[in-house]
Amino acid sequence: MDATLHTPKLQHLIYCNQTLILGNGEAHITTMPNNNNIIHSNDQSSLTSSTSHSSESNDPFSTGKWASKLLRECAKAIADKDSSKFHHLLWMLNELASPYGDCDQKLASYFLQALFSKATDSGNRCYKTLTSVVERNHCFETARKVILKFQEVSPWTTFGHVASNGAILEALEGETKLHIIDISNTFCTQWPTLLEALATRNDETPHLNLTVVATPAMERSVMKEIGQRMEKFAGLMRVPFEFHLVTGLARLGELTKEELGVREGEAIAVNCIGALRRIDVDKRVDAIRMLCGLKPKVVTIVEEEADFTSSRDDYVKCFEECLRFYTLFFEMLEESFAPTSNERLALERECGRSIVNVLACDNEEGEGEEGEESDRREKGTQWCEKMKESFTPIGYSDDVIDDVKALLKRYRSGWSLLPAQGENNEVGLYLAWKEEPVVWTSAWKP
């Protein structure tokens, strides 16, 4: 089976080229026969001349990643405004791609969506449609399933939770009134273990005020429900607890202490997981300054390691980075989840929406409509630069690092911990997937 998993990609291509001629492509793609009899073909040639079924190629690297080649080609054609070429490529991709196929087919499918939107200048509309679909289907039930399952099979998110919780617990050690301002996309899934840790703390159990800064969409769908559950769970743990919900992630930089419910005598921790990237690129520094104004004991930042910002103006470059990142992510999902997992599909769809946002949406000129989020990630070093204007880094203690290492051991192989090298003034820790840094976590104080 393994062999067939790797090999049929070319067959798909070839087969599709045939069926494409027959005008009956879609139906056949999913029922592709998986025999091992491969014809080595040069992707490039089969792309450029759709009628050539195959041409012999000895390039071993060409067999794996047909999707990325096609997609790159297409992105370049779009950037070059070579309409006949990109039309042709889009057509090709449409025949090959499937959100239910293998990794290449999935990537092709979601990137095609973005490229098509870009080519037809319909990115914003597409994004809006996808968002409304997500919101309509988004409920506590599904969100919970997806998030918890993901945590179960991959440290992608739990890595940041463990590191952040560790840093927060250490920074708030001995304090009796805690206020955690949670600006994150984690739907509070990192807090039960923290509550448990507080409950078993040696000294008196502190009072915890948890303020979640959410988007209106998050609030509408699930956050109220989640808030109730947090209250319930804190009660079970006997941790004195308050839960507050503040909407206004988009205007994070403008939020005031009053809005955030900051009170005298509270030890504040700000938890930003996957949050800063959702703020408009130009407002990020303001947001960070605002956080500094809260005088927190600790700010934890977790972001995925990709740069969709500095190359904003170079479409092909940005596309390459986006493709690189999501290829890693999709491969990680493929190895972590069962092939038919609905949770995996949901995560991939979410990526698809994000890819449209990054590659097809014109949110430079957009006035930042309500609910519209940025997805322009930045790398750890870039965040470091921004953070260092207001904050100084806190190193993780050995205990926290041990906890993270122990966490990684529970998952399949392929995960590792990379301490920041200290080059380019970078700080923090990286989660690496097959040696590639994918998630960056760090802790800061004013």
Partner 1 sequence: MPAEMENSSSVTLAAAAASGEASATSSASQMPPPPPLTTTTTTAKKKRNLPGMPDPDAEVIALSPKTLMATNRFVCEICNKGFQRDQNLQLHRRGHNLPWKLRQRTNKEVRKRVYVCPEASCVHHDPSRALGDLTGIKKHFCRKHGEKKWKCDKCAKKYAVLSDWKAHLKTCGTREYRCDCGTLFSRRDSFITHRAFCDALAEESNKSVQTVVVAETKSSEDQKMQTVQTVGALSSSPPPPPPPPPPACSVISALLPVQNTEMLKNQPLNADDMQPSNACANAISSSSSNGSSSNSMCTSVFSSPSVGAPLQPQTTAYSDLICAMARTECQTSSIAAASVTEPTFLRLSPSNGFTLFGMTAQDERHYVRPSQPAMSATALLQKAAQMGAAASGASLLRGFGISLTTSPDQQESLQGNHNAEGDSVNPAAAGIGLGCASDGGARLTELMTGPSSLFGSKPATLDFLGLGMAVGSTSTGGLSALISSMDGAGRLDIGTALDRRNLDD
Query: Site residues (CB under 8 A) for partner 1?
Result: 144, 148, 151-152, 158, 188-189, 191-193, 195-196, 199-200, 202, 204-205, 225-226, 228-233, 235-238, 399, 402-403, 405-406, 409-410
CB pairs under 8 A, 24+ apart, for 106-110? 106/330, 106/348, 107/67, 107/68, 107/71, 107/323, 107/326, 107/327, 107/330, 108/67, 108/70, 108/71, 109/352, 110/326, 110/348, 110/351, 110/352, 110/355
Instruction: Count the alpha carbons within 13 Å of 339 in the hemisphere toward its beta carbon.
Output: 5
C-beta of 198 vs 322, nearer to partner 1: 198
Backbone angles phi, psi at 296, to 5 degrees: -75, 155
Under 8 Å between Cβ of 105 and 12: yes
* CA–CA distance, 371 with 107 (Å, rounded to integer): 26
C-beta of 19 vs 157, nearer to partner 1: 157
User: How many CB atoms are closer than 10 A to CB 37?
Assistant: 7
C-beta of 20 vs 208, nearer to partner 1: 208
Nearest distance in Å: CB 58, partner 1: 45
Q: How many helices (H) and strands (E) does the chain have?
A: 18, 9
Backbone angles phi, psi at 97, to 5 degrees: -80, 150
Nearest distance in Å: CB 267, partner 1: 19
Nearest distance in Å: CB 166, partner 1: 11
C-beta of 2 vs 398, nearer to partner 1: 398
Nearest distance in Å: CB 332, partner 1: 19
C-beta of 46 vs 190, nearer to partner 1: 190
C-alpha distances in Å from residue 318, one per residue of 123, 285, 355: 16, 22, 11
- Kindly report the length of the chain: 446
C-beta of 172 vs 328, nearer to partner 1: 172
Nearest distance in Å: CB 164, partner 1: 14
Helix (H) / strand (E) element for 97: namely: none
Under 8 Å between Cβ of 442 and 384: yes
Nearby residues of 386 by Cβ (< 8 Å), 6 or more positions away: 284, 285, 288, 378
C-beta of 140 vs 315, nearer to partner 1: 140
User: How many CB atoms are closer than 10 A to CB 98?
Assistant: 17
C-beta of 152 vs 282, nearer to partner 1: 152
Nearest distance in Å: CB 54, partner 1: 47
User: How many CB atoms are closer than 10 A to CB 141?
Assistant: 10
Nearest distance in Å: CB 183, partner 1: 20
Nearest distance in Å: CB 218, partner 1: 15
